[in-house]
Amino acid sequence: MKCSSSKNLLKKIGFLNAGSLTVFLFLAMLVSPDIVFTGAADGLLLWFNTIFPTLFPFMFITAILLKSGGLNIIANVLGKPLGKIFSVSAAGAFSVIAGFLCGYPMGAKVTADLVCTKKIERSEAAYLLSFCNNTSPVFIVNFIIHKILRDRTLLVPTLIILIAVPIFLSFFFRRFYFKHSESYGESLRQTECKNNPFSFRTFDECMMDSFENIVKVGGYIIIFSVFIRLLTKFSTDIPAFFYLLPVLELTNGIIILFERFENIAVSYPLIIALTSFGGLCALAQTKSMIHSSGIPFIPYLIQKIITAVISAAAAYGYVLLFL
């Protein structure tokens, strides 16, 4: 009885906290409709000009690959080498490729799709998600290095840190998932995809699925852009909001960190940590992508925090040794 009553109390407290936060946001929006409009416009433009043309084609083509059996071709070519390195199935190797090359939340999207189509096990998906849902190299090079830091000497170390640290930690994370077997390398033989005939219906389904997911991503970006604008206004009155701002959304967070900390020994490790973590907006996008697959979210969150801390430490070490 005591246990059930305590659980009910926690639920009530959580409900009240969520309700209070919602009321606060509602009142803040009523007081500052111009800020809400500006934030929503910023998020919409970021999504329309950058995120949509970058992510939508990859979402669509990966959906086609999964539906048509094209995944088999990639698995046959890259499955064995990546399978040996990461101890994943050949189908799971596709998540590694998408996660490191395409950026948030494509690693999560592809991994969840592989689970839903029964090409990999849920435990393998949880392991894959621990290290293959990352910021894309294109974003790192174009935005972080060339637009923000403006220092080409940081290009190679930044890419090495943000790619090598998740790979390095994957060797530790896999220990939590390989309980009954040493790897998932043999699972492809049991879950091998069939080459399905391509049809307009398949094309249309992939198109609509990709549109649904890219609109979800856009919705989260717009919402968090509004949050950033509101918290920026109220951060002078509530200091805690000042420290929360960079964590909300990756692109704006990097700009805030770079402008706030002039010392490269401080700003660079923090930017690397935030880039590795992805921000709360990327977490929300990831949660949305894996929701129907049953992949656990809390272990992923913990692993991203660990990866961010190790990445920041590596960046700080680089600054001390070479800058």
Q: Would the CA dihedral through 136, 138, 144, 149 be positive or negative?
A: positive
* Residue 300 pLDDT greater than 50, yes or no: yes
How far, CA to CA in Å, does 320 sit from each of 138, 154, 315, 316, 323?
26, 13, 9, 6, 6
Residues 286 and 105: their CA atoms lie apart, in Å, by 6
pLDDT at 8: 54
Q: What is the phi-psi region of residue 189: left when phi exceeds 0, alpha when psi lies from -120 to 50, beta otherwise?
A: alpha
Cα separation of the two ends of the chain: 61
Q: Would the CA dihedral through 178, 181, 186, 187 be positive or negative?
A: negative
Q: What's the mean pLDDT in 180-202?
A: 57
> What is the rounded radius of gyration, in angstroms, for the C-alpha atoms of the chain?
21
pLDDT at 183: 56
**Choice between 187 and 101, residue whose per-residue pLDDT is larger:** 101
pLDDT at 47: 92
Helices and strands counted in the chain (H then E): 16, 0
* Residue 237 pLDDT greater than 80, yes or no: no
Please answer whether residues 112 and 295 qualify as being in contact, where contact means their C-beta atoms are separated by less than 8 angstroms.
yes
Residues 12 and 8: their CA atoms lie apart, in Å, by 6
When the pLDDT of each residue in the chain is averaged and rounded to a whole number, the result is 86
DSSP 55-101: HHHHHHHHHHHHHHTTHHHHHHHHHHHHHHHH---HHHHHHHHHHHH
Residues 147 and 181: their CA atoms lie apart, in Å, by 46
pLDDT at 157: 97
Residues 293 and 94: their CA atoms lie apart, in Å, by 17
* Residue 254 pLDDT greater than 80, yes or no: yes
Residues 230 and 224: their CA atoms lie apart, in Å, by 10
* Residue 197 pLDDT greater than 70, yes or no: no
Quote the tokens at residue 246: 């960079």
pLDDT digits (tens, 9 = 90+) for 29-58: 888 889 999 999 999 998 999 889 888 998
pLDDT at 2: 44
Angle at 174 between CA 170 and CA 176, to 5 degrees: 130
The whole-model pTM stands at: 0.86
Q: Give percent of the chain above pLDDT 70.
A: 87
